[in-house]
Amino acid sequence: MGSGVNNKYLPVVAMVILQFIYAGIALGTRTVLVGGMSPRVFVVYRQVMATLVILPVTYFSGRNSGLRSLSFRSFWLIFLASLIGVTLNQNLLYEGLYLVSSSIASAMANLLPALTFLMAALLRMESVNIGSWRGIAKIVGTVTCVSGAFTMALVKGTKLLNNEQKLPSSNSLLIGLGGGPDNTWILGCLLLFGSSLCWSLWLILQVPASASHPNHLSLSAWMCLMAALQSGAVTLFLEPNLAAWKLHSFFEFASTVYAGVMGSAVSFFVQAWCISRRGPLFSAMFTPLYTVITTILAAIILHESLYTGSLIGAIGVIIGLYIVLWGKAEEVATVNDAEGVTDPTPAEVEEEVKIHIINNNNESTDFEEPLLIISNSPSHF
């Protein structure tokens, strides 16, 4: 595909394009939600589209044996992971995205590596050496990320761009609990924070789920299917009016297809290709770029409000993310030097990349690719 110099920069170009894809998903979703589409219905259609994409891929890939057999332990692990990491996570995500803005939702996505590190440390899956710069960096980065997130939620400050958008109260089940614009803003930020917590817990659950059902392609297909059924059942209970399921425009249909296909199929292949050449750390470093792109486009296209408090908090989250990234990168380099580990072979990289297909069924993979990827591989944690 060109000279060696061009090939060197292809992963960079691919990751930049992927951030625009993620931004398009965020902006499209925000538009249809504000336009009147139910967040819960969008979750169902999103998962249905993802299932329709991944099931044929799994079946025709020659790795479909796992689709025909599922042990009792695997079933419940996948069911729990789907419930927490997809059904609950995406409902919280879209409710928060509707109540706040796409720019804030994209900034909150940078919390994922820090929250995953915190959960992994509490579960003794991640070592923390407070006597080393690496351990201190991970702790400081986590605290900075979380502090930035709370700053975004609690401190609006002076408005920099655009006017406040008035949302139709019928779209969200929780908007009536806010009691005012400021409280609604806080509620939306808390929902986004809860979504990140669920996604971090979902990553932790991949350890037993992957060990019990090591066919990752089949695991992803089962998870998409279960999430579609779970979110469908939840929405049928919360949306007794079947008229809420009706798509009112081609743009609503196109948004669900785009979120499902681009988020499940294209994003996986791009991420897998980049990781096979540069590793997961390289992928994680582009997460803040998604926040910048989304914020700029949201202000221009959707006329979303931008506040000084939100800007300062977002900067804090991004700084904290890079501190955690630095701490983790230094730790991996030190461990590899101590153990005499060399660069992985293509076969080893391919095996590591396989686990990333599990990320296909969640909008946080639409929004970001986390640093701390949990797997049953000895190279992680």
Tokens coding 313: 């908090």
Amino acid 104: pLDDT: 84
Q: How far is CA 133 from the centre of its chain?
A: 28
- Residue 376 counted as domain residue: no
- Residue 55 counted as domain residue: yes
Q: For 111-164, how does the pLDDT look when each residue is reduced to its tens digit (9 = 90+)?
A: 877 787 788 778 777 666 777 777 888 788 878 887 887 787 677 677 776 555
Can you name the residues that pair with 161 across neighbouring β-strands?
306
- Residue 372 counted as domain residue: no
Label residues 276-292 b or e (16+ Cβ within 10 Å = b). beebbeebbbbbbbbbb
DSSP-derived secondary structure for 56-118: HHHHHTT-THHHH---HHHHHHHHHHHIIIIIIHHHHHHHHHHHS-HHHHHHHGGGHHHHHHH
Amino acid 356: pLDDT: 45
- Residue 378 counted as domain residue: no
- Residue 142 counted as domain residue: yes
Amino acid 232: pLDDT: 93
Q: How many domains would you assign to the chain?
A: 1
- Residue 276 counted as domain residue: yes
On whether the CB atoms of residues 82 and 43 are closer than 8 A, the answer is no
Residues 6+ apart with CB under 8 A from 169: 175, 176
- Residue 373 counted as domain residue: no
Tokens coding 336: 């590899």
Query: In angstroms, what CA-CA distances link 63 with 47, 59, 159, 215, 362?
Result: 21, 7, 53, 8, 22
277 closest CA partner among 346, 340, 217: 346
Q: For 286-319, how does the pLDDT look when each residue is reduced to its tens digit (9 = 90+)?
A: 778 888 888 888 888 888 777 787 788 888 888 8
Query: In angstroms, what CA-CA distances link 246 with 147, 243, 376?
Result: 40, 5, 42
- Residue 135 counted as domain residue: yes
Q: One digit per residue, pLDDT tens: the chain, 381 residues? A: 445 555 777 888 888 898 899 889 989 998 998 888 888 999 999 899 988 888 888 878 766 666 667 788 888 998 998 999 889 998 999 988 888 888 888 888 778 777 877 887 787 776 667 777 778 887 888 788 878 877 876 776 777 765 555 555 455 555 545 455 557 788 888 899 999 889 888 878 877 887 888 777 788 888 888 999 999 999 998 887 888 888 888 999 999 999 888 876 677 667 767 766 776 667 767 778 888 888 888 888 888 777 787 788 888 888 887 887 787 776 655 555 555 545 444 444 444 444 444 444 444 433 333 334 433 332 333
Model confidence pTM above 0.95:
no
Amino acid 268: pLDDT: 64
- What do you get for the CA distance between the two ends of the chain, in Å? 35
- Note down the domain range covering 294: 4-367
